[in-house]
Amino acid sequence: MFCRKHLIKISHRCFSNESRINSFIKSKLMSAEDVAEKLPEKVTIGASGFTPAGYPKVIPGAFAQRIKNSKNPENFSINLYTGASTGDELDGVLARTGRLKLKIPYQSHPDLRKLINNGKLNFIDMHLSHVSRYIREGIFPSIDVAIIEACDVTSDGRIYLTNSSGMSSTYLALAKDIYIELNEAHPLEMKGLHDIYLPELHTGRPINIDYVDDRI
């Protein structure tokens, strides 16, 4: 769960007749194409997902289509931060635009590998545990946009992730704009699966967990 209510915009993927769109979601609802039009041409994206789980699957494709349709695709430049490798709907579609300039922290997609091996994409292969600190300390470019898959967004702006957390908490905390892909293929019972704690930098304080059934 995470909350930055004033920044949230929502794109919706409905897979059932029983919609979970509340009044807050309805007030923020946009199509993936509308979101894609709002993304800057030069953008650093922090996306949810850890391996092919919990990553955004619609907005990246809409953004890739915008680039493809552009009269000046060379104006676009994308830095992509994820939690690990993701699926074709994110890593693949953005790689095939030819406008990816930086990928962190891991990859396993053949289109990404081709760009990296041909010297057309800067890639930093690093342990996930270091990524948050490097971004928060300004070592890496700051995040313009967080694109996060969620199973629910409550009326008070709480964001509930789907089946991975990855680097989502860092991206949500630092992004200038937040776009949520509300994916109703995931049940609401996933709410509470993730217990997320973003520690302060340089304090050395332990996480507030003493027993196996404690929660942050």
pLDDT digits (tens, 9 = 90+) for 110-128: 999 999 999 999 999 999 8
Q: What is the pLDDT of residue 202?
A: 67
Q: What is the pLDDT of residue 8?
A: 65
Within a domain: 88: yes
Domain of 155 in residue numbering reads as 2-190
Within a domain: 137: yes
Q: What is the pLDDT of residue 179?
A: 96
List CB contacts of 12: < 8 A, sequence separation 6 or more.
21, 25, 29, 181, 182, 184
Within a domain: 97: yes
Within a domain: 151: yes
Within a domain: 28: yes
Q: pLDDT tens, 23-56?
A: 888 888 999 999 999 999 999 999 999 988 999 9
Within a domain: 6: yes
Q: What is the pLDDT of residue 196?
A: 82
Q: Is the pLDDT of residue 4 over 60?
A: no
The helix (run of H) or strand (run of E) holding residue 186 is: none
Q: Cα(27)–Cα(30) distance, rounded to whole angstroms?
A: 9
CATH number, residue 115: 3.40.1080.10
How many domains are contained in the chain? 1
Within a domain: 65: yes
Cβ distance 177 to 146 under 8 Å?
Answer: yes
Burial class (CB within 10 angstroms; exposed 0-12, middle 13-18, buried 19+) of 213: exposed
